Amino acid sequence: MRLVLPLLMIAGCGIIFVKDDTGTDSGVSNQDSGTEGDTDTDADADTDTDTDSDADTDLGVDCDASYSTAPPAGPDCVTSTISCGDTVYGTTEGGSTIMDEDLYGDAFCFIPYDDYQSSERVYALTVPQNTSVTLTVDTPCAPMSYAMMRWDDASFCPHGTQYSIAECEGDEAGGGGVEHIDVFNAARYLISIDAPEGTTGPFGLRVECESR
């Protein structure tokens, strides 16, 4: 059953968040696109259609692959800067240790039920004005969380409860998720992939943008 929440308009911020009920379904959605009248009756993969109501977050993350554990390139906690249309694969191992449960809770990214003292990977993303963003996160190998927060200061990353973050959306300790975000005014965002204390693992991250 698909859960659709009402639109939430944050006054003065120029942004609308629409959140999907997410899942970790790794099935392949691949429907036969043959011409009219050509009926495929075999049982191969081209008839395997994802029929569940959850958002499909499968980005093909390989739990046994080796991903770079190099420290963040910066500034501060940022591993790298990404752009609309990018798909990134990595591991939280070797990442920064700046963001924690206090930050996520105080910024209303999600309700943290665990300590987030493990390393995280953070990516900077600049979104043009009047853009619809679809953020897909895939963490099939370990329970991990993600957050997308507006943070315009490129010189350092927020931490704890001492900074005011007007916009943040995310989900805690699942297999990933999908967020749909409408951005009206151009802004810089930080996307973090984090995990409860003692946990690290690989992940996939995709950013898709469409002009409104």
What does the pLDDT profile of the chain (212 residues) look like in tens digits?
444 444 333 344 444 444 444 443 433 334 444 444 444 444 444 433 333 334 567 999 999 999 999 999 999 999 999 999 999 999 999 999 998 888 888 889 988 777 777 899 999 999 999 999 999 999 999 989 999 999 999 999 998 787 889 899 998 878 899 999 999 999 999 999 998 888 899 999 999 999 98
Nearest to 172 by CA among 200, 148, 144, 141: 144
Cα gap 72→63, rounded to integer Å:
21
93 DSSP assignment: T
Assign 101 to helix, strand or coil: helix
Could you give the strand order of the β-sheet that contains 15-19, starting from the edge strand earlier in sequence?
Answer: 8-10, 15-19, 176-183, 131-138, 202-211, 87-91
Cα gap 1→3, rounded to integer Å:
6
Q: What is the pLDDT of residues 17-34, one digit of tens each?
A: 444 444 434 333 344 444
Which tokens hold the place of 187? 């802004």
Nearest to 62 by CA among 87, 85, 88, 89: 89
Q: What is the pLDDT of residue 56?
A: 61
Q: What is the pLDDT of residue 131?
A: 98
Q: What is the pLDDT of residue 48?
A: 38
Q: What is the pLDDT of residue 212?
A: 87
Per the CB < 8 A criterion, the answer to whether 15 and 169 are in contact is: no
Burial class for 126, CB neighbours closer than 10 Å (0-12, 13-18, 19+): middle
Q: Which amino acid does the sequence have at 96? A: S
